[in-house]
Amino acid sequence: MKIYSNQNVNVEQVIPFPDEVHTTDQEWWMIYDADTKVIAIEPLQCSGYTSSSFTMVISNTEEELLEYIKQNNLIYSVNKI
């Protein structure tokens, strides 16, 4: 399955088990473990194709991802600096 994000969409895309999901350098995205709620990749802007056994969330703004983290009680890694 390949899901391509749409820069014009303002709401988050939540993609379990992303398989080569494309992001542009304008989009914000993050990865978290839906079972433990631990964030594996904190919100970042980075173009590329991402695959993971976790859940990917894509948005147009960092703020939306931070709100998503808050609403879903996600946990920052203990190694956060």
Residues at the site binding another protein, with contacts judged by CB under 8 A: 20, 22, 25, 31, 33, 38, 40-41, 46-54, 77, 79, 81
Q: Between 10 and 17, name the residue whose CB sits nearer to another protein.
A: 17
Q: Please state the separation of Cα 73 from the chain's center in Å.
A: 15
- Which residue's CB is nearer to another protein, number 10 or number 78? 78
* Minimum distance from residue 50 beta carbon to another protein (Å): 4
As measured in angstroms, the least distance from the Cβ of 39 to another protein is 9
For the CA atoms of 46, 47, 49, 51, the dihedral, rounded to the nearest 10 degrees, stands at: 10
Q: How far apart are the first and last CA of the chain?
A: 34
- Report the residue number, 10 or 46, with the smaller CB distance to another protein: 46
Q: Exposed (0-12), middle (13-18) or buried (19+): which is 41, by Cβ within 10 Å? A: middle
